[in-house]
Structure 1
Amino acid sequence: MINLDGNIVQEENASLSVFNRGFAYGDSVFETIRVISGKIMFWEDHYFRLMASMRIMRMEIPSSFSPEFLEEEIKEIIEANDLATSPARIRFAVYRLQGGYYTPATRDIGYVISAEAMENSFYIFNDEPYEIELFKDHYVNSGLLSTIKSNNRAVNVLGSIYARENAYDNCLILNEKKSVVEALNGNIFLVKGKTIKTPPISDGVLNGIIRKQLINILKKTEDYELEEASISPFELQKSDELFITNVAQGIQPVSKYRKKEFENKVAKDLLSKLNVKARLG
Structure 2
Amino acid sequence: MVNFNGVITEEEVQLSVSNRSFLYGDGVFETLKVLNDQILFFEDHYFRLLASMRIIRMQIPMSFTLEYLEEQILTLVRKQGVQDSARVRLTVFRNDGGYYTPTDNKVSFVIQTSALSVKSYTASETPFEVDLYKDFIVPKQLLSTLKTNNKLIQITASIFAQENGLDTCLLINDDKNVIEAAYGNLFVLLNGQLITPPISEGCLNGIMRKQILKLAKELDGIEVLEQPISPFDLQKADELFITNVIVGIQSVTKYRKKEFEQTIDKQLLEKLNQAIQA
Range class of TM-score, shorter chain:
over 0.9
Q: Which residue of 2 aligns with 1:58?
A: 57
Q: Does 1:218 align with 2:216?
A: yes
Structure 2 letter corresponding to 1:67: L
Asked if 2 retains the 8 angstrom alpha-carbon contact of 1:242 and 1:254, the reply is yes
Q: CA shift at 1:15, angstroms?
A: 1.4
Question: Residue 248 of structure 1 corresponds to which residue in structure 2?
Answer: 246
May I ask how many residue pairs the two structures share in their alignment? 278
Q: Following the alignment from structure 1 to structure 2, what is the Cα–Cα distance between the partners of residues 277 and 23?
A: 38
Displacement of 1:227 = 0.8
AA at the equivalent of 2:38: K
Name the CA distance, whole Å, in 2 between partners of 1:132 and 1:123. 21
- Tell me how far 1:221 sits from its aligned partner: 3.7
Shift of 1:156: 0.4
SS across alignment from 1:215: helix
| Alignment-mate amino acid for residue 39 of structure 2 | I
Kept in 2, the 8 Å contact 1:59–1:96? The answer is: yes
CA displacement at 1:223 relative to structure 2:
3.4
Q: Distance in 1 between matches of 2:231 and 2:118?
A: 34
CA RMSD of aligned residues (A): 0.9
Trace 1:44-123 onto structure 2 (pairs within 5 A).
Answer: 44-84=43-83, 86-123=84-121
> Out of 155, 160, 163, which is 2:161 matched to?
163
CA displacement at 1:37 relative to structure 2: 1.9
**Does structure 2 retain, via aligned residues, the 8 Å contact 1:37–1:83?**
no
Tell me the residue number matched to 2:27. 28
1:6-34, Cα deviation, whole Å (9 max, x unpaired): 0001143x111111000000000000000
1:218: Cα distance to partner?
2.1
Q: Quick one: distance in 2 between partners of 1:145 and 1:63?
A: 24
Match of 1:126 in 2: 124
- Give 3-state SS (helix, strand or coil) of 2:236's partner: coil
Q: Secondary structure at the match of 1:237?
A: helix
Corresponding residue SS for 1:119: coil
Residue type matched to 2:7 in 1? N
Q: What is aligned with 1:39?
A: 38
8 A contact 1:125–1:271 mirrored in 2: yes
Flag structure 1 segments of 5+ consecutive residues without an equivalent. none
| Cα drift, residue 200 of structure 1 | 0.3
Give the % identical residues.
50
Partners of 1:109 and 1:23 in 2: how far apart? 14
| Offset at residue 279 of structure 1 (A) | 1.5
Q: TM-score, normalised by structure 1?
A: 0.97
Does the Cα contact within 8 Å between 1:5 and 1:110 map onto a contact in 2?
Answer: yes
- Normalised TM-score (structure 2): 0.98
Hey, what's the Cα distance between the residues in 2 that align with 1:101 and 1:44? 34
In the alignment, the residues of structure 2 paired with residue 242 and residue 27 of structure 1 have an alpha-carbon distance, to the nearest angstrom, of 33
Report the Cα distance in structure 2 between the residues aligned to 1:208 and 1:223, rounded to whole angstroms: 25
> Aligned equivalents of 2:218 and 2:267: distance in 1?
14
Give the Cα separation in 2 of the matches to 1:130 and 1:75. Answer: 33
2: CA distance, partners of 1:244 / 1:46: 19
